[in-house]
Structure 1
Amino acid sequence: MKNPRDLIKRPIITEQTSELMATKRYVFEVDMRANKTNIKQAIEQIFNVKVAFVNTMRMPAKPKRYGKHSGYTSEWKKAIVQLTAESNELEFFETV
């Protein structure tokens, strides 16, 4: 397995994901090649918590225009991580 901090790129913090945090669900942008097992192990190592399950989805590239130039945004992968009931909340998100 790679370094866990290479698999988890950044947290995704929006209004919708903030509501999920009340039920101990956290959303992260992850490496495109990471699978659910790798993501689970990385979150457990980084934050010292127990993960119940992981849902992943690939976010497709979207067409964008800037004046007469057109192109696409990058494709990326999102992971929704559900912690077990015994786990503490992630300290990283407490200030949000």
Structure 2
Amino acid sequence: MGMNQERLMQVILAPIVSEKSTMIAEKTQQVAFRVATDATKGEIKAAVELLFNVKVAGVSTVSVKGKVKRFGRTMGRRKDTKKAYVSLVPGQEFDLTATAAE
């Protein structure tokens, strides 16, 4: 793919570590990431393959609307975010701690 490597480094913001994402990871070989709101599925796939050296079977994305929160006496709104659930090819292992240590 002729995608800009610099852009791919900015696509994935953080892994989502929660009870729900951990349960999904164990059951279905999927990993959850918080990604840039303008990221496409193709970019997410390329970024995960580049950063973690794994083969990606598919990508599902979810746009999450920011909650309305109170800041002092004014009402404000949190930013909209985007989650990506990345499915791995069977037989692939995904270890966040090993790649973070490198």
Normalised to the residue count of structure 1, the TM-score between the two structures is: 0.88
Q: In structure 1, what is the equivalent of residue 25 of structure 2?
A: 21
Q: Partners in 1 of 2:33 and 2:50 — Cα distance? A: 15
Aligned length: 93
Q: Select the residue among 84, 92, 95 that pairs with 2:89.
A: 84
SS in 1 for 2:66: coil
Q: Partners in 1 of 2:89 and 2:97 — Cα distance? A: 16
Q: Select the residue among 3, 6, 23 that pairs with 2:10.
A: 6
Runs of 4+ residues over 4 Å off in structure 1: none
Q: Partners in 1 of 2:73 and 2:62 — Cα distance? A: 32
Letter in 2 for 1:75: D
SS in 1 for 2:59: strand
Does residue 47 (structure 1) correspond to residue 52 (structure 2)? The answer is yes
| Contiguous gaps of at least 5 residues in structure 2 | none
Percent identity over the alignment is 34
| Contiguous gaps of at least 5 residues in structure 1 | none
Normalised to the residue count of structure 2, the TM-score between the two structures is: 0.83
Query: Which one has a larger percent helix, Structure 1 or Structure 2?
Result: 2
Give the superposed CA RMSD: 1.4
Q: Partners in 1 of 2:57 and 2:74 — Cα distance? A: 45
